[in-house]
Structure 1
Amino acid sequence: MLVSGTGGASDEWTHVADPARPGADLKPDPSAVLPSLARSTRVCAYDRPGTTRLDGAPNRSTPVHRPTTAAAAAEDLRALLAAAGERPPYVLVGASWGAMTASLFARTEPARTAGIVTVDGASPYLEDTLSPAQWSAWTDRIRAGDQGEGLEAPDYPAAVREVRAAPALPRGLPAVVLTSDHPWDLAVGGGSTWPAWLAAQQQLAAELHARHITDTDSGHGIAVEQPRLVTDAVRDVVERVRAGQGR
């Protein structure tokens, strides 16, 4: 189950970036994560409420309640899976904000979760690794960047509280954490936030007892910049699940 980043619809998983044309529009490609995974396993992506397509068009989903919490997003995912008749267990793949949704779903639905992959995922430990000034400035920036009524507006402080209040992830859950290695910065609160991002990723990987892939040759958008890495990580988790090497 592929869970996109903030505001992102399902086409984040069917498109790739052109390394020869930085900044160009993403293009659909058979090497993208979803079509690549579909060659070996069933794979699903979805348009969360309040997200938009890559061309800027709104998706056909309902408006989202705002601010958007991880708990609300996890409940939407439960409803989607039930309506679609998709039977568990699931391997959850969360990119950026989507990792908060995937993590909370896994914690609250352990019997239905077979594995987890985070793709430069938002880590609840970022509140600890950023300075108080940086964390406050970042959450202020997210609120200031609100895109309008009905569109997704992540509430990171609430999401962190929700994840930390939830049960621990099942021990032995097959997991992979992919982390960007091209420095990028939240540019808030003074000083670089890049070391804090890396530290939060390291703590997330330790909590998950995950294989941590840090040599990604990518910025934050690993799924579109290096789709093969994401595909291989998901296949690794799926194969471990099928081999009975999970919990």
Structure 2
Amino acid sequence: MKRWPWAICLLLLLLSGCATVPGTTTGTVAGRSVEFALEGEGAPVVVFENGLGATLDWWAKVWPDTVAESRALAYNRAGHGRSDASMLLRDGAQVVEELRALLRARDLPPPYVLVGHSLGGLYMQLFARKYPADVAALVLVDSTHPDQVKGAGNPDHWPTWLKLVFRATTSDTAKQELAALDDTGAQVSSLPVDPAVPVWVLSALRAAGAPSALATDAERKRADISQLYPGSTQLWVDSGHGIPLEKPEAVVGAIREAVRAARVARDVRRAQ
């Protein structure tokens, strides 16, 4: 059986329960219970967004060093972990507005350092393009490309066994998020990039698996993400798709650079 990026991602998801983010709790936002962790001191606030079907525990190995650097929030989107499901459309526009509501409810002021893995990276791209004044920096961790499910990446082209694995191991919410992924990508592509927002792009060197049309397409799109953000810093990481679990130090390093760059920019503004 060939190895495929999505299959590796699903297996890592099943393994991610071995580490947890401490201090998780729930709060009510707009009448819905949301699970989150909030720790650390200082600005800017670092905000984590999970990948498809993943929970905040994907950041367990990144969390301790991040909260030693600044205040940080990790949470579970609607329908994941202990967060209540939602009947609303699970596209990027809705996810971004729900995240903004959570940030307001916890009195966490912008600008933020946004960190997103996989599909979470696509959501954070939308956040940064839609509300650039609220974003100090963007860290994309093997992020989904806005055109990820076009061409060979279309789920209709997945091998039968992979479709069966996905259907059997993911929640209804994750299936809804995947179904809305093309619309979310279009939302991202329809908005301009603000060159004032610094971007770090972490890309996996070992995510492709065996040669195939899907793997080739995924690698092309992985390399192209940095081209969407002129002036971005792209770092190729010796890891599979699950960089937060396999190479957390790479994520921590990018977050530290992003936080420090944000603080320098803040100090410059104050001095003017």
TM-score for the superposition, normalised by structure 1? 0.78
**Aligned match of 1:75:** 97
Could you say if the C-alpha distance between residues 194 and 66 of structure 1 is closer, same or farther in structure 2, counting changes exceeding 3 Å?
farther
The 1:126–1:230 alpha-carbon spacing in structure 2 relative to 1, beyond 3 Å, is: same
Q: Measure the CA separation in 1 of the matches of 2:174 and 2:52.
A: 10
Report what 1:20 is aligned to: none
| Match status 1:162 vs 2:187 | yes
Choose from 42, 59, 63 the match for 1:13.
59
- 1:40 is matched with 69
Greater shift in the superposed pair: 147-156 or 172-181: 147-156
Kept in 1, the 8 Å contact 2:58–2:245? The answer is yes
CA displacement, residues 146-177 of structure 1 (integer Å, 9 cap, x when unaligned)? 84555663121111121122x21211311111
Residues 10 and 152 (structure 1), Cα distance of their counterparts in 2 relative to 1, 3 Å cut: farther
Shift of 1:218: 0.6
Q: Give the drift of 1:64.
A: 2.9
Structure 2 CA distance, aligned partners of 1:39 and 1:105?
25
| Of 174, 185, 195, the match for 2:198 | 174
Give the structure 1 partner of residue 247 of structure 2.
Answer: 226
**TM-score, normalised with respect to structure 2:** 0.71
SS of corresponding position for 2:252: helix
The residue type paired with residue 110 of structure 1 is P
Cα distance, 1:137 vs. partner?
2.4
Partner amino acid, structure 2, of 1:177: V
Higher strand share: 2
In structure 2, list runs of 5 or more residues that go unmatched: 1-46
**Identity %, equivalent residues:** 28
Which protein is richer in helix relative to its size?
2
What is the CA–CA distance in structure 2 between the aligned matches of 1:62 and 1:151, rounded to whole Å? 14
Question: Which consecutive unaligned segments of at least 5 residues does structure 1 have?
Answer: 15-31, 53-58
| Mapped partners of 2:100, 2:91: distance in 1 | 14
1:137 maps to which of 137, 144, 157: 157
Which residue is 1:17 aligned to? none
Aligned length: 216
